[in-house]
């Protein structure tokens, strides 16, 4: 049989969204806002000790509570039950329990090793099919799927006026490596409820920092249902005073409270943009700043080592004179968070290498 090629055309699709963040960042609340914007009947699979029922003032939804052991089979059964019941959007809150919770995949793998039926490597032969079945249930579902994931926690000092305080910083999601590949889009939510997309096949939110609202879900629905990609302006950040981002510990990386804006030097990796002059109208200035911020974000996110991140940061900070103070703070906060994420990935890789 000969291969047949047809013209690529995006057809009506269902959302596959991952939402990760530290405790208190608003993963459940944000997921409900997005689900509300999608406009479908909402079902929530709750593994967070019935905390999913605390937001009945946000949207109209039904809850199915899963208690320990958090086996992948329970998730799969709940997804299929919601489909049969006619729900249009399923929120899985939280998918992390299927990996690291009691009765989850890591627990199953550990018990196989303890029983002597396999070592730490061969035990995955029995565990991986269970993980794959859960992933397949999400991907093949006729419903929109929104899955929240807890983030690995780190703590950092941030400057709040004349005082320093400890804040939580979310890193990698607590799930099996590579889970982000299964989603259409992945939102990371910071402790101040600001969201960014670490992966975005829709290209609607790439390189932007914003607050999630029902309009976020509406924009996603428009993209999923229509063939034309429309430009999106994220919901503006709230005007109230925001907590300053944490300080980076190493020299060569940013102190996120700084708004240093060098005026000279070679600008590598970023397109030259005319400086945003004071006489520019508000929309024109905003557009220039958003374009430059996105280019800087694209340069930094490719870094895989701390040394590379330092080098890239020193290059892109030469463009800070063209940004406003808020944009500089956001970039510095992202750089600090990325540094910690790279360090955690390195430690995890070393642990896996030793375990093997």
> The domain that contains 107 carries what CATH number?
3.40.50.300
Q: What is the rounded average pLDDT for all residues in the chain?
A: 81
Please report the pLDDT score of residue 137 as a whole number: 96
Residues 217, 320 within the same domain: no
82 within domain boundaries: yes
Residues 261, 210 within the same domain: no
11 within domain boundaries: no
Beta strands in the chain (DSSP E): 16-21, 42-46, 61-65, 89-93, 144-160, 163-173, 185-189, 194-200, 210-211
Domain boundary among 225, 256, 288: 225
DSSP 289: H
Residues 204, 258 within the same domain: no
Residues 219, 258 within the same domain: no
Please report the pLDDT score of residue 274 as a whole number: 54
Residues 23, 109 within the same domain: yes
Please report the pLDDT score of residue 298 as a whole number: 80
Residue 351 makes CB contacts below 8 A (sequence gap 6+) with none
Residues 93, 208 within the same domain: yes
8 within domain boundaries: no
Please provide the size of the chain in residues: 356
Parts of the chain with a pLDDT under 70: 1, 153-162, 164-171, 227-281, 356
Residues 270, 182 within the same domain: no
Q: How many domains does the chain have?
A: 2
251 within domain boundaries: yes
Range of the domain at 343: 245-356
Q: How far is CA 166 from CA 89, 131, 141, 254, 329, in A?
A: 37, 36, 41, 18, 18
232 within domain boundaries: no
Q: What share of the chain is helix, strand, coil (3-state, %, to 5)?
A: 40, 20, 40
How many CB atoms lie under 10 A from the CB of residue 308?
Answer: 13
Residues 200, 283 within the same domain: no
Residues 321, 181 within the same domain: no
Residues 283, 342 within the same domain: yes
85 within domain boundaries: yes
Please report the pLDDT score of residue 327 as a whole number: 79
Please report the pLDDT score of residue 164 as a whole number: 66
Residues 147, 255 within the same domain: no
7 within domain boundaries: no
Please report the pLDDT score of residue 237 as a whole number: 46
Per the DSSP assignment, residues forming a β-bridge with 173 are 151
Please report the pLDDT score of residue 279 as a whole number: 46
98 within domain boundaries: yes
Residues 56, 181 within the same domain: yes
DSSP 193: S
**Cα 127-128-129 angle, rounded to 5 deg:** 95
């Amino acid at each position: 049989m000969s291969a047949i090629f047809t013209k690529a055309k995006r057809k009506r699709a269902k959302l596959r969204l991952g939402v990760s963040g530290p405790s208190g960042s608003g993963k459940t609340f944000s997921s409900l806002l997005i689900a509300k914007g999608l406009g479908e009947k909402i079902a929530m699979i709750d593994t967070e000790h019935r905390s999913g029922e605390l937001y009945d003032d946000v949207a109209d939804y039904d809850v199915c509570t899963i208690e320990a052991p958090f086996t992948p089979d329970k998730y799969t059964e709940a997804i299929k039950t919601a489909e049969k019941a006619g729900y249009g959007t399923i929120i899985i809150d939280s998918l992390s329990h299927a990996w690291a919770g009691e009765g989850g995949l890591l627990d199953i793998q550990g018990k196989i090793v303890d029983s002597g039926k396999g070592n730490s490597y061969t035990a995955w032969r029995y565990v991986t099919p269970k993980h794959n079945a859960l992933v397949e249930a999400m991907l093949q579902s006729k419903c929109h799927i929104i899955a929240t994931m807890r983030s690995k926690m780190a703590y950092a000092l941030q400057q709040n006026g004349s005082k320093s305080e400890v804040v939580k910083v979310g890193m990698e999601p607590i799930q099996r490596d590579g889970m982000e590949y299964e989603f259409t889009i992945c939102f990371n939510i910071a402790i101040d409820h600001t969201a960014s997309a670490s992966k975005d096949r829709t290209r609607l939110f790439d390189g932007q920092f914003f607050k999630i609202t029902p309009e976020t879900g509406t924009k996603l629905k428009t993209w999923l249902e229509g063939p034309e990609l429309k430009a999106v302006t994220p919901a503006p950040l709230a005007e109230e005073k925001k907590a300053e981002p944490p300080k980076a510990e190493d020299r060569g990386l940013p102190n996120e409270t700084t708004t240093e804006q060098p005026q000279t030097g070679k600008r590598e990796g970023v397109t030259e943009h005319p400086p945003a002059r004071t006489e520019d109208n508000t929309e024109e200035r905003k557009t220039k700043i958003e374009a430059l911020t996105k280019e800087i974000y694209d340069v930094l996110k490719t870094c895989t080592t701390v040394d590379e991140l330092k080098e890239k940061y020193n290059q892109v900070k030469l463009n800070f004179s063209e940004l406003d103070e808020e944009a500089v703070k956001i970039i510095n906060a992202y750089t600090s968070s990325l540094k910690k994420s790279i360090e955690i990935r390195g430690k995890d890789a070393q642990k896996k290498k030793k375990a093997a």
